[in-house]
Structure formats: structure tokens, C-alpha cells
A and B are shown apart, each in its own frame.
Chain A
Amino acid sequence: MLDYLARSLTDHPDAVAVEAVPTRGGTRLSLQVDPGDMGRVIGRRGRVAQAIRTLVRAAGASEGRDVSVDIVD
């Protein structure tokens, strides 16, 4: 899901990398994108980043998993 969203929102979909780290009671996803795409996945006042988090969390919750998203550079 995160991979799909990130690829859909960036200029450099090939530079999208998602890493999953298991945490207590869930999964933490780290999203890495091309530096030029940072602005796109974050958006004004973090609106896009927040929307991405909400959707990924919702998708995770529908499978009974607790998922969080970090955007790293």
C-alpha cells in the first residue's frame, strides 16, 4: 500500500524504497524517496504525509495490524 501510494505521488517511482521493521505490537514502515520528491510526499503543512499515514494505517488496521509510517531522508 505504502509503496503504491509513494510511487503514485512521486516523479521518481523507481527511487521509492519501503523498509518494514517489526515493533512491539505492529510494524513500522520507513519510506525513502528521491530527495526531489520529498516535498511531494510531505505536502503543504504535511498534509500529504498525514494522508499517507492515515491510509496506510487504515489498510493495516483492516488486516488487524498496527502500522506506522516514517518518512526518512
Chain B
Amino acid sequence: MEWVETTGRTIQEAKEAALDQLGVDEHDAEFQILEEPRLGLFGRVRAEGRVRARVRPSTPRAKQDRRDRRRKGQGASGGTADQAEGDHDDAHPTASRTSAPSVGGHRASSSDDATPARRGPAADERPRAHLDDRHDDGAHPGREGDMLMDVALQEQAEVARQFLVGLLSRFGLAARLDIDILEEDERLEVRIEGDNLGVLIGQKGSTLAALQEVTRTHVMHRTAARNGRIHVDVSGYRHRRTEALAAFAQGLAKDVQRPGRAVALEPMNAADRKVVHDAVAKIEGVATRSEGDDERRHVVLVPLAADSPSAGPDAPAPTHSTDDLGTRATDEGDPDSGAGLDAV
């Protein structure tokens, strides 16, 4: 895992910048403070704070395992590289999903076959989990590290599955549960599919975010996982929204390109900001940067010509709402979370 180094007027600001670059939540990153910011007269910043951050490695490893891992990292040649590529190919079902132009259709229908919408209690085995066992068939001698990692991830997947099965039955929902183990990313990708799952998504995905949060917390608690990188998606909502957000950001970037005026988006979490940064990076003549602290942190699109350092972070810019995308907005106090898919 690579380290990134960032600066900011406060440590928090530097951390936020690092999270932007990594595109992960604060939970999933680890920080080293390299330099505290130094304040001059009247609180003016004389020297910015510097931090180093990286995505937190997933599981605490046995010594043996750690050694293997390090060795693998240093000698990135020959068999290791081949292996890594092989893993990449079959361990990334997301690669094809990301590029699929339309979503929802085929997956929704397949889950219809699997589970007709039934309601009722005592459904513990109804949501059917599919854990990918492909790593068991080809035991690679001399790759104990990866083997152990698989076991850890599989254990996490099993814990997550049991937890979610129980949760879904308490919602009285019939749903299908798929868990992909993305070994390369050390991450679990949980997909919940079925009918009438809007209740699990909530307004602007708020219930989905909560679902992910408690699942992650539960898995971290019940397993040795240190970071619990678990993504939960319901009926492809997150996937669709990510694509919509990227398209929206690119559209906005094209507007910024010509008249040359900076545009600020509404506050977003680190993962969403990364979506925007990455999407706009493909558009020439427009740069992105993140501004604001914590809950108010948001992306600003800046025409490159006007992106002089003196423009400063306080340059006024209209906030562009992404409400129509179902993007998380600031009004989280709304108690009605039933709307769900209709809004997408």
C-alpha cells in the first residue's frame, strides 16, 4: 500500500486532503503526522501541517505471513507478477460491471428467479449467500501469505453474510445476497438484490450508508479485521449513482472549461469526492480540489487558466446541488427514509 503525503493549514485539513487522494473513508486510512502546523501572529499559518497516509492494511498478520508479504512486495518480478495479474482477472468482477453501460436489467431479473418476493419471519436461510470459493481450487504452493489473507477475507465474508441475513429477515425482506471477495483490494463487495428493497436504500442512500456502517462495525468486531473494507450495494444503487455522479461532474467540468469560472459542488464523503476527482481528471483544462472541513468538505472544479495559487480556498463559487442524482446532501435530518429507488 502506498503512502501519500499532504499538507494543510491544520492537521485535519491535511488528513482530509490525504483521504481525497486515497478515496477512502477515515476508518480505512492510517496517518502519520510529519509536521504540526506552526502558527504565526494572529493565527496566520507560518508553516503548513504535513501528514503521511495510506490505506490501512486489512488484517493483522501472523509473523510468517507478514514476512511473505514483504518479500512479495520487494521482489515484484516473474511469478509474482504473473500471479498478481491472474488474480486481477478473476478477482475483479467489478471491472466489467463498471464499464457496463446499463445496469439493473439483467441482475434484477436473475434475482427474481432466485427468490420470489415472499414476506414473513423465520427466514434465516432465505437470503442465499454465494461466497466465491475460486481460490480454494488452485492452491498455490509458496503463497501462504495470500492463502491466509483469503481465509481472513472469507471469514469476514461469512460473518458479514450471517449478520446481513439476520438483518434482512428482521426487515421482513426477501433478498439475495452475493459477496465477492476482491482479494487484490482486500475488500468485500456485498450485493443485495431483490424486490422492494427501497427501504434499505433510503433517502439519498442514507439507509444504505447506515447498513454499510453497521456491517463494517460488526465484521471488525467479530473478526480480526482491522479495517473492514466492506462495500454494500442494494439493487445496484451505489453503482448507478457513482456513474451518474461521474457523468454529472464531467458535464459540469465542460461548463467550467469555457467561461472559466470555478464551480463548487455540495459536500460529499471521501469516496464520492474521489469519483468526482477521477471523472474530471479526464476533462482537459479543468482541475479539481477539495475545500472545507469534515462534513462540509466538497470538490471545486477550477478552470486551469484561473487556477493560480493566489485564488485561495475562499474564492466564492456557487454550490451545485447534485440532488437529482440522489447524492448525499446536507439535509440529513429528514426522518423519512422510505423513498429509496424512486429517487434514482
List residues of chain A with CB under 8 Å of any chain B CB: 1, 4-5, 8-9, 11, 40, 43-44, 47-48, 50-55, 57-59, 61-62, 66
B337 interface neighbour in A1, A44, A47, A61, Cβ under 8 Å: A61
Question: What is the number of contacts between chain A and chain B, taking CB atoms within 8 Å?
Answer: 71
- Give the CA-CA distance A44 to B29 in the complex, in Å: 14
B197 to chain A minimum Cβ distance, whole angstroms, is: 11
Structural contact, B210 and A62, CB atoms closer than 8 A: no
Name the interface residues of B164-219: CB closer than 8 Å to any CB of A. Answer: 166-167, 170-172, 199-200, 202, 206-207, 209-211, 213-214, 217-218
Q: How far is the CA of A52 from the CA of B206 in the complex (A)?
A: 12
| B170 touching A1, Cβ below 8 Å | yes
B214-A52 in contact (CB<8A): yes
Bound CA–CA A48/B209 (angstroms): 11
Given the known inter-chain contacts A51-B209, A62-B172, please indicate yes or no for A9 contacting B214, CB distance below 8 A.
Answer: yes
Most buried by A among B167, B210, B213, B218: B210
The A-contacting residues of B in range 210-255, CB under 8 angstroms, are: 210-211, 213-214, 217-218, 221
Is B336 in the interface zone, CB < 8 Å from A? Answer: yes
**A57-B335, A59-B170 known; A5-B214 Cβ under 8 A:** yes
B207 touches which of A4, A8, A54 (Cβ 8 Å): A54
Whole-angstrom CA separation of A57 from B332 in the bound complex? 13
Residue of A nearest to B159 (CB): A8
- For residue B337, which residues in chain A have a CB less than 8 angstroms away from its CB? 54, 57-58, 61
Q: A1-B170, A4-B167 are in contact. Are A58 and B214 (CB under 8 A)?
A: no
| Contact A58 B202, beta carbon cutoff 8 Å | yes
- Which interface class (under 10, 10 to 19, 20 to 34, 35 or more) fits B? 20 to 34
Whose C-beta in chain A lies nearest to the C-beta of B173?
A62
A9 to B163 alpha-carbon distance, docked (Å): 10
Distance between Cα atoms of A44 and B113 in the complex (Å): 41
Q: With A8-B214, A52-B214, A54-B202 as given contacts, are A40 and B221 in contact (CB-CB < 8 Å)?
A: yes
- Report the bound CA distance from A57 to B170 in whole Å: 13
* A52 to B217 Cα, complex, angstroms: 11
Please judge, given known A-B contacts A1-B171, A40-B221, A54-B207, whether A61 and B214 are in contact too, CB under 8 Å: no
Known: A51-B209, A57-B335, A61-B336. A40 touches B217 (CB 8 A): yes
Tell yes or no: B338 within 8 A of A by CB: yes
From known contacts A61-B199, A62-B171, infer whether A48 and B214 are also in contact, taking CB-CB under 8 Å. yes
Q: Are A58 and B338 in contact (CB under 8 A)?
A: yes
Centre residue among A11, A40, A54, A59 by max chain B CB count within 10 A: A54
Known contacts A54-B210, A54-B337; is-contact A59 B163 (Cβ 8 Å) = no
Query: How far apart sit A37 and B185, CA to CA, in the bound complex (Å)?
Result: 31
Q: Shortest CB–CB separation between residue B285 and chain A, in angstroms?
A: 38
Tell me whether A58 and B213 are in contact in the complex, defined as CB-CB below 8 angstroms, given that A8-B218, A40-B221 are known contacts.
Answer: no
A55, B214: Cβ atoms under 8 Å? yes
From residue B138, how far is it (CB to closest CB) to chain A in Å?
Answer: 34
Can you give 29 A-B contacts (C-beta < 8 A)? A1-B167, A1-B170, A8-B166, A8-B214, A9-B217, A40-B221, A43-B213, A43-B217, A44-B26, A47-B213, A48-B213, A50-B210, A51-B209, A51-B210, A51-B211, A51-B214, A52-B210, A53-B210, A54-B202, A54-B206, A54-B207, A55-B207, A57-B337, A58-B171, A58-B202, A58-B338, A59-B170, A59-B171, A62-B338
